[in-house]
Structure 1
Amino acid sequence: MILTTCAACAAPLAHDAPRCVRCWTRYCDSTCQHDHWRRGHKQMCKKIHRGGNAEQYHADKKYKEAVAVAVEACADDTKGQTCYICTQALHWKTKEGLVRGCSCRGTAGFVHVSCLAEQAKILMDEAEENNLSGKVRTERFHRWHTCRLCEQQYHGVVSCALGWACWKTYLGRPEGDQVRSGAMTTLGSGLCDAKHYEEAVSVQEAELSMMRRLGDSEHMLITQGNLAMTYHAIGRMEEALRLRQEVYSGTLKLHGEERRETLIAANNYATSLGNLERWQEVNTLMRDAISVARRVLGENDEMTLRMRSFYARTLQDDDVAATLEDLREAVTTLEDTARTARRVLGGAHPTSALIERELRNLREKLRANETPEKLAQEAFRTARAKLAQEREELAQTLADSSAKPSQDA
């Protein structure tokens, strides 16, 4: 159920809220239903029913709106081009224009959303009719969100239109159906890509509620992670942190510390801690996670590089507690990470470019902080720490000598 609010008063609804017997529009109670009937639902009820009932009618309407937005947004880029699937400029049935929402270059990648949706549906139908393996079904389902030419995910308003296309195709399936669950995930991601965050929250919260009812713990972790990203995007940091903590602990329990999924969850959890300036917890978590990543994934893995880059940022983000020693450690870490990223990924790779930018910013911050006053303070702290250590060593030596048994006859 994606329609999660009462049609009359917009209050949140339970998944089993009462509904109109003809068109399945949902309400808080009979009072809201009667009020909505008097305010115009009487004239719309039959039309909604003919459109496949409330959920289907709503999804079809949102799909058409999303396609129109995507076509308009891509109009300048697609002018004079034809669809690589049907070879027409206008879709033969819907008369919609072209879009381009992936990483294809040149004349490739121009397409109708309807053609992409039909192609993805046909591939999934064949996989289910022929009882193909789960791996093949997953690969074919990816056509709902990934270009088969450049193998990059669609983005922005095109991703949103495909999300509605996917949901309207599979929403009639039983609640526990895996393809239907995948369609909810695709829709939520598409709404986020188009920055429709409030709608995305509604979809993802409904999906999480469904996962809890079904007891699907692994899929629930994915849904919680997606919802946490959306909470973060709209500034609900505490809720994002709570979910990411649950995702990290759940993934750690399910897969152990040495799986990539666990390391990703740890990195996301640390990001939320950093957003709330809980730097000590961030540093502790990241040191342990990076140690595992370097051992399991290797020094050259992109995930390891990203984690080391993030850890370097956290060393200097705490303006109150960060010392010159912390800044120097951060610069050293980023310099080593940047060298590896250039060698493994190339200088033009987004991750390499991000690390280089952070390294430049961090070097500037270090130079700005290496003032005579700061250097004097650092020297004083170092001398005091050394003196304290010498006192502890002397005290330990005296304690050890006094504890020795007497050698007198």
Structure 2
Amino acid sequence: MILTQCAVCATDLGLTRGKKCGRCSTRYCGPACQKQHWEEGGHDQLCKKIKKAGGAEQYNANKKYTEVVSVAAEACAEDTKGQTCYICTQALHSKTKEGLVRMCACSGTSGFAHVSCLAEQAKILVAEAEENNLEQQPRWERWHKCGLCEQDCYGIVRCALGWACWKTYLGRPETDWHRTAAISEHGNGLLETGLYEDALSVKETELATLRRIGTLAHNILDVQGNLAVTYAKLERHELALRMKRIVYSGYLKLKGEEHTDTLISANNYVDSLIQLQRYKTVMSLLRKTLPIARRVLGEDHHLTLRMRFNYARALHQDPAATLDDRRESVTTLEDAERTARRVFGGAHPFVEQVEHFLRESRGLLHKKRKTSG
């Protein structure tokens, strides 16, 4: 995560407070902690090494990246046996000696790669766009999307790519959009692997940075949306709901009801409404936005599928649901599961989530039939 705490006592320093080691930029709340770290914390042995790596932030990012890549390769080891990287065509990376990962919805022998190869590919594509004044966003997406199936990477691989992205661009000026975009990728990767407190720290830093340097309204809304998701993961549900409502209203005014960002924010808002059992509001919002998503994005789009899943969730979890509601929940989940399995592959976490709710929904329908009969 981004270093915003004293290296000794963990006091929150934000982005500007405290003092830094004059050689390596390690951050402290004051001279006492800096002195203690040098005399008792081993900083005297690490200081030159940290400076050589590019400073405290770069050293930390490099170190964490290496650790997470190792964890990712180990987690994917069984699935990647006998396979090779689709980028470098090797099983073991020639320089880093890291193993392979599977990171997306690719099926069969596709979708295996080294995190280092994925990161290098993304770095080169973004550099080419920057050098030749090309549209950057499609190439930037390689930091979190598979170049073969075009689906988002997930799990520990997404986290590793987030660290890779952050360590690549953190040395750029604070006003450089690559750096702020890298903060976002880093936070999303932490969020993907359940490191919610770390993700919150990064997302709050991102929002504070954007507000300080000044940016467009939609950039602020993007970060507020991600921050709201993080609040929800930390079970701060009322806070998450309030922010998601603000973000949805903001996008609706700024971009209109058919824009993808508006639909994403609507679905995020629905997540919090379901968590707080506001089922009537859920159904009202989804009956308005789901037909738009189907028309604009298509039935196979991941957002359409997630909105359909949330629609079925609301029917499934509402204590006041009728027998017809239960039937609709089951049929919606059955269709969503078939489509999601085809689009994402059977091992994708979203498919597993749909399957779980489908089993529960079938059970509730069976009970409802018995009591109604």
TM over 0.5: yes
Q: Which amino acid counterpart does residue 190 of structure 1 have in structure 2?
A: G
Q: State the secondary structure of the residue aligned to 1:107.
A: coil
Partners of 1:101 and 1:304 in 2: CA distance: 22
**d(CA) in 1 for partners of 2:293 and 2:154?**
31
In the TM superposition, 1:85-234 aligns within 5 A as 85-132=87-134, 134=135, 137-216=136-215, 217-234=217-234
Aligned match of 1:381: none
Q: Is contact 1:283–1:311 with CA below 8 Å preserved after alignment? A: no
2:30 aligned partner = 29
Tell me if the contact between 1:290 and 1:307 (Cα under 8 Å) persists in the aligned partners.
no
C-alpha distance in 1 between matches for 2:371 and 2:124: 61
Q: Which residue of 2 aligns with 1:397?
A: none
1:38 is the counterpart of 2:39? yes
CA distance in 2, matches of 1:95, 1:72: 13
From the superposition, tell whether residues 116 and 3 of structure 1 become closer, same or farther in structure 2 (CA, over 3 Å): same
* Structure 1 gap ranges (5+): 372-409
The gaps in structure 2 that reach 5 residues or longer are 344-350
> Which residue of 1 is the match for residue 51 of structure 2?
49
Contact kept in structure 1, 2:263 and 2:293, CA below 8 Å: no
How far apart, CA to CA, are the structure 1 residues paired with 2:337 and 2:114?
Answer: 38
Offset from partner CA, 1:301-343 (integer Å, 9 cap, x none):
4656754653454356453xx2xxx414524654775697699
Classify 1:129/1:313 alpha carbon distance in 2 versus 1 (closer, same or farther; 3 Å): closer
Preserved CA contact (<8 Å) 2:173 2:179: yes
User: Which has the higher Rg, Structure 1 or Structure 2?
Assistant: 1
What TM-score comes out, normalization by structure 2 length?
Answer: 0.83
Residues 308, 334 of structure 1: 8 Å contact kept? no
- What value does the CA root-mean-square deviation take over the aligned residues? 3.1
Q: Find the residue that maps to 1:77 and give its secondary structure.
A: coil
Please give the per-residue CA displacement for 1:43-84, whole angstroms capped at 9, x wherever unaligned: 322211111001001000001111111122222233333333
Match of 1:6 in 2: 6
Structure 1 residues 8 and 82, CA, compared in 2 at 3 Å: closer, same or farther? same
**Counterpart selection for 1:290 from 287, 291, 294:** 287
* Number of equivalent positions: 359
- Residue 96 of structure 1 deviates from its aligned partner by 2.0
Deviation at 1:269, TM superposition (A): 1.7
Match of 2:347 in 1: none
For normalisation by structure 1, the TM-score amounts to 0.77
- 2:235 maps to 1:240: no
Inter-CA distance 232–28: structure 2 relative to 1 (3 Å threshold): same
In 1, Cα distance between the equivalents of 2:180 and 2:11?
24
Check whether the contact 1:267–1:286 (CA below 8 A) recurs between aligned residues: no
Structure-2 separation of matches of 1:346 and 1:115: 28
C-alpha change, 1:113 and 1:306, in structure 2 (3 Å) is closer
Q: Which has the higher contact order (CA 8 A, sep 6+)?
A: 2
Amino acid at match of 2:244: R
